[in-house]
Amino acid sequence: MPVAQPGIFAQGTRSHHYLQLDLRPGVDPGLIGPTLGRLHQPDVTSGGLNLVIALGPALAHLLGPGGTPDGLVPFAPVGSPAGRGVPADQHDLWLWLHGTGPDTVLDAARLATGALAPAFELATEQPAFSYRDGRDMTGFVDGTENPPVDEAPDVALVPEGRPGAGGSFVLVIHFVHDLAAFGVLPLEDQEAVIGRTRVDSVELDDARKPPTAHIARVVVEENGEELEIYRRSTPYGTVGVQGLEFVAFSADPGRFPTMLARMYGLSDDGIIDRLTEFTTAEGAASYFAPSLTALRALAS
Ligand code: HEM
């Protein structure tokens, strides 16, 4: 099995930085692989830092149509009967740097952007952080039902023998919260929005968990099996604006649109996730994080 990018699974890092970049117009395609290869220089990846590299669909097809997995397509905007949807903000390259402090992570983000400059220009960046004990800024623990580390590769990685084996499909959504509106809800209502208790993240029983609860919308079963994804989202914020950089990995790109359709009222039952009343998706993109083995081959 090709070696996966270890940063997808690395735990315990409290500082994060997300970058999206676009290919510069007219760049010689022969320059792209070697430019990406510069990201593996030790000065970029040393110091207890993790770097995850993911390619947008256009770039992945340009670089290696043979190794590009089926189903890698640009993010398709999600409409919503209630007017709240998920607009697309697709770019060519996504980098996730995470480490033990904002200084190391920012240094690495600047180095990486500089190393890529001959072929890529920066489109968006978002510093982010672990909030308290792994909570979203709504105050709820985010990640309780994530697969544990020893099971996460099975959920996140394309299995051996398929195009893109050892790589992972990535969904990135920039959410902006309305914490003022969420904060005035009584605790019981907040818990009904998520479907779990706030302090200790215990799932509400069926009598208390409404069908509009977030976890009631995103738990999807197919042939008796739960369709899982591996979430690595982190909050960001200033006094003026707070939100969540939603990041999820999956072996199967079809799980993301299924969950989003159920959140935004587009599935057969038409139910809308109540969480979408308190957070706005400002832009989303789809990427593929190739295995380390595939990235090294690209670089040479
Ligand atoms: C601002 C946006 C979001 C926030 C604040 C949020 C927050 C949460 C929280 C607090 C939980 C419960 C604890 C846990 O199991 O992690 C949860 C669960 C989950 N969320 Fe989200 N989420 C957001 C967006 C999304 C999106 C866009 C998706 C899918 C595309 C998603 C998929 C899931 C899944 C699969 C679970 C686990 C459900 C379970 O197995 O019980 N979430 N989320």
To test the ligand 1 pocket, which listed residue (126, 179, 218, 232) has its Cβ within 8 A of the most ligand atoms? 218
pLDDT tens-place string over residues 252-293: 999 999 999 999 999 999 999 999 999 999 999 999 999 999
The count of structural domains within the chain is: 1
Q: Ligand 1: distance of its center to the CA of 7 in Å?
A: 21
- Taking the CA of residue 228 as reference, the ligand 1 atom at the shortest distance is 35
Of 142, 189, 252, 268, which one is the catalytic site residue? Answer: 142
Q: Ligand 1: distance of its center to the CA of 224 in Å?
A: 20
Binning pLDDT at 50, 70 and 90, where does residue 195 land?
very high
pLDDT tens-place string over residues 121-137: 999 999 999 999 999 99
- Cα end-to-end span (Å), the chain: 20
Which pLDDT value is given to residue 46? 60
Q: Is the CB of 196 under 6 A from ligand 1?
A: yes
Angle at 155 between CA 153 and CA 159, to 5 degrees: 70
On whether residue 182 sits in a domain, the answer given is yes
- Taking the CA of residue 86 as reference, the ligand 1 atom at the shortest distance is 27
On whether residue 33 sits in a domain, the answer given is yes
Strand, helix or coil at 229?
A: coil
Is it the case that residue 207 has pLDDT exceeding 80?
yes
On whether residue 231 sits in a domain, the answer given is yes
- On whether the CB atoms of residues 297 and 192 are closer than 8 A, the answer is no
* 206 has catalytic annotation: no
Binning pLDDT at 50, 70 and 90, where does residue 34 land?
very high
What are the C-alpha distances in Å from 273 to residues 46, 80, 81?
A: 41, 11, 12
Residue where the block lists tokens 């792209």 = 32
On whether residue 176 sits in a domain, the answer given is yes
Strand, helix or coil at 179?
A: helix
Residue nearest to atom 17 of ligand 1 (CA): 142
- On whether the CB atoms of residues 190 and 208 are closer than 8 A, the answer is no
Write out the residue range of the structural domain in which residue 293 sits: 6-299
On whether residue 1 sits in a domain, the answer given is no
pLDDT tens-place string over residues 42-63: 666 666 799 999 999 999 999 9
Q: What ranges in the chain are assigned the alpha helix state H? A: 29-37, 42-45, 57-63, 102-116, 152-156, 179-183, 187-194, 214-218, 255-263, 292-299
Is it the case that residue 77 has pLDDT exceeding 90?
yes
Q: Is the CB of 193 under 6 A from ligand 1?
A: no
Q: Ligand 1: distance of its center to the CA of 34 in Å?
A: 37
Q: In 122-133, which positions are buried (b, 16+ CB within 10 angstroms) versus exposed (e)?
A: bbbeebbbebee
Mean pLDDT, to the nearest integer, of 70-98?
Answer: 94
Q: What is the CATH number of the domain that holds 228?
A: 3.30.70.3420
- On whether the CB atoms of residues 143 and 231 are closer than 8 A, the answer is yes
On whether residue 106 sits in a domain, the answer given is yes
To test the ligand 1 pocket, which listed residue (78, 135, 138, 214) has its Cβ within 8 A of the most ligand atoms? 214
**H helices then E strands: how many in the chain?**
10, 11
Which pLDDT value is given to residue 86? 98
Q: Who contacts 20 (Cβ-Cβ below 8 Å, separation ≥6)?
A: 89, 91, 93, 94, 95, 122, 123, 124, 125, 172, 285
Strand, helix or coil at 37?
A: helix
Is it the case that residue 41 has pLDDT exceeding 70?
no
On whether residue 274 sits in a domain, the answer given is yes
